[in-house]
Amino acid sequence: MTVRVVVADDQALVRTGFRMILTAGGVDVVAEAATGAEAVDAVRRTRPDVVLMDVRMPELDGLEATRRILTGAVAAPRIIILTTFDLDQYVYAALAAGASGFLLKDVTPEHLVAAVRMVQDGDALLAPAITRRLVRRFARRDPQAAAVHRDLATLTRRETEVLRLLAGGLSNAELAETLHLSEATVKTHVARILAKLGLRDRVQAVVVAYETGLVSPGSPED
């Protein structure tokens, strides 16, 4: 099935380049946007599978556009944040708001197409080293977080263990090996964690694990 994408970036050259790369890779670019407001409108009009969202745009930045697209949406698209700098507080905030990952703008063509297909299939674009570094730098244990995510207490002991390891950046295969489980069982645990906590994907789960204090910078899982 063809993946339908909206490309949102205030630089026309970036939008044109990404469109060419994605089209050559068999991805259908259904709309372009130069501002966050245009991105929100384009998503409502075209209902894409994935949005490539520049984090810094005029009128409405990528963070607020991400929030507006995802808030209350039943079948929202997956959002990949585009940035020139990996340790960016706006990127962290967008991940916490529900973005499925981020890419640096100097991404290779092959990685760009693969990333779009990966998140469209429901996986989080979670580069463990970079994402953990980003979360470690900007996540703060929030007294409100435990209340907001009080359903953390509804996790079973095994699910809590999986969440701790997931926050360390382990893949399903690595989780399976560490816990001596099948990958299918691990996927089931991850799906239940996301459902119980009301999260979209693994990136948000990592954020929650840090912000609730389940995992702390420098802990064995980190």
pTM: 0.76
Sign of CA dihedral 51, 56, 59, 62: positive
Query: Exposed, middle or buried, 55 (CB in 10 Å: 0-12/13-18/19+)?
Result: buried
Decide: 175 and 166 in contact? Cβ < 8 Å. yes
Q: Report the CATH architecture of 145-212.
A: Orthogonal Bundle (1.10)
CATH number, span 4-125: 3.40.50.2300
- Please give the structure tokens belonging to residue 140: 């703060």
- pLDDT digits over 153-203, tens only? 899 999 999 999 988 777 788 899 999 999 999 999 999 998 998 887 787
CA angle 28, 117, 15 (to 5 degrees): 50
Domain ranges of the chain: 4-125, 145-212
- pLDDT digits over 117-142, tens only? 888 776 666 555 566 667 667 666 55
In this structure, of 1-5, 35-39, 123-127, 205-209, the range with the lowest mean pLDDT score is: 123-127
- Residue-averaged pLDDT of the chain: 84
| Plot region of 198 (φ>0 → left; ψ -120 to 50 → alpha; else → beta) | left
Sign of CA dihedral 208, 126, 112, 5: negative
What pLDDT is attached to residue 17?
Answer: 95
